[in-house]
Amino acid sequence: MGNKSDDHHIERRFGFLLLGFLPLLVNIGGVNGVEDHQISVVRQHRNAYVAMMYMGTPRDYEFYVATRVMLRSLANHKADADLVVIASIDVPRSWIQTLEKEDGVKVVRVENVDNPYKKQANFDRRFKLTLNKLYAWSLVNYDRVVMLDSDNLFLQNTDELFQCGQFCAVFINPCIFHTGLFVLQPSMKVFKEMLHQLEIGQKNPDGADQGFITGYFPDLLDRPMFYPPSNGTKLLGLYRLPLGYQMDHSYYYLQLRWSIPCGPNSVITFPGAPWLKPWYWWSWPVLPLGLMWHNQRLQTIGYGPEMLLALAQSAIYLSVLIMTLLIRPNMSKLCYRQPDKSLSLLQAGLKMIAMWSILTAYVVPFFLIPKTVHPLLGWMVYLLGSAALNLIVINVFLLPALHVLMPWIGISGALVVMAYPWYSNGVIRALAVFFYAFCCAPIVWGSLKKVVAGLQVSLEREAFLPKMGDSPRLPQFNKQF
């Protein structure tokens, strides 16, 4: 009896020791390579919301921020599920630690799934690693998984999705379902079959996860619509999800409000042009919903170092603006007129420098601002920076200030017109923007012509380009005695 009791205690202590090491094994290994295929997660809930992260695109950091905001918004909506990120092994360790410690996310590290479609003629390199999304089927510790792209914004709790069947997705395109959000029942059998389909070359029109998964479930359009059972039971089979679970942001712009009759208006998705994602500061007010995304970020992870960098730039531009107004430098005095035969060449060169300087003053501040800073701060920094740099150009080349700053005034007016919050619908808003552009364009063009004319006058002044070796004559020396 004593020996059996001791053996029982040893087994219990070994079991506790093994459980203690499991989280460490998950965080370090996550998956034992693509060959093993198995992802083990110490779960706290029966279901999980899952996102993925990988490296190798120019926008890795922006998608990292977007993933954090999306998952934190789920936590704010009191999601009764684990939050999981499938991260490739080259994702920075600091990002992983932030996700785990600050956001309460379970991170599993995986080897990248080799994309066999990368040599297709129409292949977009930014989708090279999106097939990592297939790892969601290997999360067999969970009953159901909702797989998410980072460009989703949750408006309310969507835990009823875990009642859906083996696979469920939304048709935001009339004939092709969208893989930015879908529900699945993890299965090693399905996962291995998908890997086999990759090996034998299943047809994939876009070479990404979208084309592959839609090809793997070709008859989803014929399946019934999902309506969550009131008793909370989980359904079996394949279902179409109502459109309210993946509301394409373009649906909003016609009425400037949500009016999706099919299902609850729960999730906004932002497919389309990668440089107009909502986290970029310049996407608002071009796309009105950008401010909604940033308000979500403000309530969740904040802005941290990006805010400090933007404020530092503002301080620098403000200092330049004040110094330029006070000192009024005239660097043109460093230029001297050469012999007459080269005067026209010199003037042409100075004209080109002046025009490029004006263009640079409008372009450079745009690229220096942190990309994911709040739009209100981003536009403020841009306008301040372009005004400060243009003022330098105005003083250097003795140009008419109003005409040089006319594009600046036009941009400011366009922001006001686009951001006006009381349009009755998107058509009225579009017409207002078009009318403003129609009226503003000839004014800006006229100002540009006057800048060129003013530059020519400045170049012909004796004070701007005095002859080499000549002393400027004072007005009183020209008097007749």
Mean pLDDT (the chain) is 85
Asked whether residue 466 carries a pLDDT value surpassing 80, the answer given is: no
Query: Which residues are CB-contacts of 314 (< 8 A; sequence separation ≥ 6)?
Result: 380, 381, 384
pLDDT band at 3 (very low <50, low <70, confident <90, very high): very low
Joined together, the tokens standing for residue 146 give 């909702």
Query: Which residues are CB-contacts of 63 (< 8 A; sequence separation ≥ 6)?
Result: 53, 57, 150
Q: What does the pLDDT average to over 54-59?
A: 90
Contact by Cβ (8 Å): 280, 372: yes
Q: What is the pLDDT of residues 145-189, one digit of tens each?
A: 999 999 999 999 999 999 999 999 999 988 899 999 999 999 999
Asked whether residue 331 carries a pLDDT value surpassing 50, the answer given is: no
Cis-peptide, bond into residue 285, ω within 30° of zero: yes
Q: What is the pLDDT of residues 179-217, one digit of tens each?
A: 999 999 999 999 999 999 999 989 998 999 999 999 999
pLDDT band at 38 (very low <50, low <70, confident <90, very high): low
Instruction: Please give the Cα distance from 132 to 53 (Å, whole number).
Output: 9
How high is the pLDDT of residue 183?
98
How high is the pLDDT of residue 328?
64
Contact by Cβ (8 Å): 82, 45: yes
Q: What does the pLDDT average to over 86-115?
A: 95
How high is the pLDDT of residue 166?
97
* Whether this model's pTM surpasses 0.95: no
Q: What does the pLDDT average to over 247-274?
A: 89
Q: What does the pLDDT average to over 311-322?
A: 95
CA end-to-end span of the chain: 134
Amino acid at 289: L
Q: Are strands 238-241 and 178-184 parallel, antiparallel or unpaired?
A: unpaired
Asked whether residue 53 carries a pLDDT value surpassing 90, the answer given is: yes
